[in-house]
Amino acid sequence: MAKEKLGVLCSGRGTDLQSIIDAIAGGKLDAEIAVVLTDKPDVMALERAAKAGIRNVCVNRKEYGDRQPFEEALVKELQAAGVTLVILAGFMRILSPYFVHLYSGRIMNIHPALLPSFGGAHAHRDALAYGVKVSGCTVHFVDEGMDSGPIILQAAVPVYDDDTEESLGARVLEQEHVIYPKAIQLYVEGRLKVEGRKVIILNEERM
Ligand code: GAR
């Protein structure tokens, strides 16, 4: 059977991308990364893709005035690469309804908090300021809202009194690198069934 073709969108360092590259190389994820796209030049994600021999393109947001032509350029690259599942991995832009409809049910995102708490761009700062004792990360399908789509997998980590954004971020990131490849593999296996807000995991392993 043809492999799921992933298009991974990143804005920066690309450690989530790396976890997907490594899971594929290690036989834990049965998919292929067809293209890595970034919205900024000179980011580590492009280097990581190049090192792994993956097609990588910067669609520089600064070269586009409105969001629509920028997203059309992204779509052109995704279509040219035959992408069937879009993976947002530290992609720090909100996608418009145009893009979300085009890939409806076929866009995943990872967010560094236990949604619906602490959505947005400063999850760790917000979690620390609130004083929560547990935080974590969430893989979800993308809908038209921000960090609001149906939740696929979550992982929790403790928050300590002396945590900084950096220390909490690092603890959460370790879990991101575990659950993102896992969530994608569940999709690849056809085991994710969306019923309204809920994602049912077929034949789920229980602890
Ligand atoms: C990750 O922590 C990811 O959850 C977060 O950006 C970081 C990217 O790290 N994404 C968001 O905040 C999306 N709202 P990476 O570039 O090393 O993969």
Q: What residues does each domain of the chain span?
A: 1-104, 110-207
Which amino acid is present at 27? G
What radius of gyration, in Å, describes the C-alpha atoms of the chain?
Answer: 16
Q: Atom 3, ligand 1: which residue's CA is nearest? A: 90
Catalytic, out of 111, 124, 140, 177: 111
Alpha-carbon distance of 43 to 51, in angstroms, equals 13
Query: What's the gap in Å between 1 CA and the centre of ligand 1?
Result: 31
Query: What's the gap in Å between 37 CA and the centre of ligand 1?
Result: 15
User: Per-residue pLDDT for 134 more than 90?
Assistant: yes
Domain 110-207 top-level CATH class: alpha beta
Mean pLDDT of the chain: 97
Q: Mean pLDDT over residues 132-157, rounded?
A: 97
Active site residue 122: no
Supply the pLDDT for residue 177: 98
Which amino acid is present at 15? T
Supply the pLDDT for residue 42: 96
3-state secondary structure of 206: coil
- 77 in Cβ contact with 37 (< 8 Å): yes
Band of residue 205 on the pLDDT scale cut at 50, 70, 90:
confident
Alpha-carbon distance of 108 to 179, in angstroms, equals 12
3-state secondary structure of 173: helix
Phi-psi region of 147 (alpha: psi -120 to 50; beta: other; left: phi over 0): left
Band of residue 207 on the pLDDT scale cut at 50, 70, 90:
confident
User: Per-residue pLDDT for 1 more than 90?
Assistant: no
Supply the pLDDT for residue 189: 98
User: Per-residue pLDDT for 78 more than 80?
Assistant: yes
Atom of ligand 1 at shortest range from CA of 10: 16
The domain 1-104 belongs to what CATH superfamily?
Formyl transferase, N-terminal domain (3.40.50.170)
Domains 1-104 and 110-207 share a fold: yes
Two structure tokens written together for 191:
């085991």
Q: What is the dihedral of CA 88, 7, 94, 18, to 10 degrees?
A: 30
